Structure 1
C-alpha cells in the first residue's frame, strides 16, 4: 500500500484538537485547537511543511478546536471550511476573509479529497464530523458527540481509518471532581461519548474494512488511556476483528503517523 496517504493527530483532548491528513496530493488540517506555533512545530516534527496545507476544516466553535484558527489561517491564507453558524459564533477577525461556509451534511470536493460533512449531537451551534475519501481510502473524524444516531453510524461505515471519541468512563465521571451540572452535560445526548458506547459501536457497526481505530478526545479527569483501550479491545476480540489496529490518542500528545 502507498505510504503517501497519511493521517496524523497533532492533539486530541479538551486541551486542544487538531489533525493532519494527506493523500500525497492534497494536504488538510482538521481543527485548530493548538496555537499556531505549536501546530506548526508538531507538523514539522512529523516531517510536514506547514506551508503545504491546502485547506482547513473546522468541526465547531469550542475553544479546544479553534484556539489557533485566527493565527493559522492568517499565516497560511488558505480556505477555511466551517458551517455558517460556526463562523457567526467566532470573534470577528481578519481570518474570516478565508472562510468558506458550508451546510452541515454537504459533500465537498477539496483538491483530490471528497469530503462528506455530517451533523453531530453536541452542545455547539452547528457541529459537524467529516469523512474524507480519496484513492479508494476512507478516513472518518468524529469527536464531540453525545450519542451515535443511525445517520452517523451510516457515514462511518467502512472507514479504513476512524478517529472516534472515547471521552469518559461513566463510573469515573460519576465519582469524579466535576460539579453535577457539568457531569450532566457530559453524560447528555449533546455531551461526549463514553467508553461503553464506543464498545457497543465496535460490536454493532465496525466492519472488516477498518484497519485503524483511534480513540480520541479522552478526558484527563474521567478516563485513562489504558482503560479506554481495554474496553475497546474486549469488544474487538468479541467481534473477531483481528485485522484491526487499535490506538489511543493520549491527551496533549502527538500521535505517530498512520499510513494507509
Structure 2
C-alpha cells in the first residue's frame, strides 16, 4: 500500500493532517469542530472510527479545538509531550487515563510499520513539536508554527519526499494589515510564524533529489493569499537554482477543503 496522506485543513482557523499505512491511520492535530473533522474525513473517503491515534503538536486552539470531543466520541488514544499535556488541561475536557500517552520531544515512536520522529520548533507554546514520518524508505516532513527554521530542524527534515511546510504570511500584508502591533510583533518574532520568503529560503536548503511534493501550509487568512504564497516561494526557489514544476511540484492547502489523498 505504501504511505498515503492528506492535509485535511490548514490555516489560522484550524489545522488537521492525516496519514495512513497498511497497518495504521493517524491524525495530527484536531483544530476544528468534531462535525467539521467528520466532514473533512468524508472528503477523502475515510472514517474517524478507523483512526489508530491522534498526535498533538501543541496546545493552541487552532490545533486542538475538536481534540477532546472526537477522542471521547471515538475512544481514540492521544499522544503529546508532557508539557503539552499540562498546557491542554482545562482546554480539552476530561480524557480517560487509558487514552493519554506521552510522546517525548526528540524521540522516535513506532506505530507498526510507521516510524514517527518528533522534533522541536520555535513557537510560543509550552513545548511545540512537529513530526517526520518514515515508511518503507519514504519520508514525509510536517512543519508549521515556527518563527524560524534552524539548522537543527533542517537537518532532521532534509531531503524528504514530501514537505508540508509553513508559509504563513506576506510581510508587507502583515505590516499594513489590521492587526494590532503587539500581534504583528508576535507573528514576526522568532516564536511566531514563517513568512512566504522565509519558507522559500528554508526550503531551498532542505529540498533534495527525492523531493517530489511541497504543500504550503498554515496560510494566514488576513495576511496572505494562496497565489502570492506560491509565487513568492517559487520565485525564491528558482533564484536558488531549483526548477519548480520540473524537479518537484508546489501545492496549496486550504482551511476547509482537504487535499487529495495521495501516496508518498
TM-score range, shorter chain: over 0.9
Paired with 1:160 and 1:31, the residues of 2 have a C-alpha distance of 22
SS state at 1:95 partner: coil
1:99-157 deviation per Cα after TM superposition (whole angstroms, max 9, x unaligned)? 11122111111222111100110000000010011122111111100001111101111
1:51 pairs with 2:54:
no
Which of 47, 63, 66 lines up with 2:64 in the alignment?
66
Which residue in the other structure is 1:152 paired with?
A: 153
Would the alpha carbon gap of residues 175 and 21 (structure 1) be closer, same or farther in structure 2, given more than 3 Å must change?
A: same
Which range moved further: 163-172 or 232-241? 232-241
Which residue in the other structure is 1:257 paired with?
A: 261
Which range moved further: 167-176 or 247-256? 247-256
Which residue in the other structure is 2:251 paired with?
A: 247
Would the alpha carbon gap of residues 96 and 155 (structure 1) be closer, same or farther in structure 2, given more than 3 Å must change?
A: farther
The runs of 5 or more residues in structure 2 that have no matched partner are: none
- 1:236 offset after TM fit, Å? 3.6
Paired with 1:196 and 1:40, the residues of 2 have a C-alpha distance of 34
Paired with 1:149 and 1:128, the residues of 2 have a C-alpha distance of 13
Paired with 2:113 and 2:34, the residues of 1 have a C-alpha distance of 25
SS state at 1:256 partner: coil
Which residue in the other structure is 1:8 paired with?
A: 6
Paired with 1:140 and 1:129, the residues of 2 have a C-alpha distance of 8
Counting matched residue pairs gives: 258
- 1:258 offset after TM fit, Å? 2.5
Which residue in the other structure is 1:94 paired with?
A: 94
Paired with 1:130 and 1:145, the residues of 2 have a C-alpha distance of 13
SS state at 2:209 partner: coil
Which residue in the other structure is 1:104 paired with?
A: 105
Which residue in the other structure is 1:231 paired with?
A: 232
- 1:94 offset after TM fit, Å? 2.9
Paired with 1:127 and 1:144, the residues of 2 have a C-alpha distance of 8
Contact 1:199 1:235 in 2 (8 A): yes
Contact 2:170 2:223 in 1 (8 A): yes
Paired with 1:108 and 1:201, the residues of 2 have a C-alpha distance of 26
- 1:96 offset after TM fit, Å? 4.8
The runs of 5 or more residues in structure 1 that have no matched partner are: none
Paired with 1:102 and 1:202, the residues of 2 have a C-alpha distance of 27
Structure 2 length normalisation: TM-score? 0.93
Which residue in the other structure is 1:140 paired with?
A: 141
SS state at 1:239 partner: coil
Which range moved further: 4-13 or 167-176? 4-13
Would the alpha carbon gap of residues 155 and 96 (structure 1) be closer, same or farther in structure 2, given more than 3 Å must change?
A: farther
Which range moved further: 120-129 or 236-245? 236-245
Paired with 1:183 and 1:104, the residues of 2 have a C-alpha distance of 28
C-alpha root-mean-square deviation of aligned residues, in Å?
1.4
Contact 1:15 1:252 in 2 (8 A): no
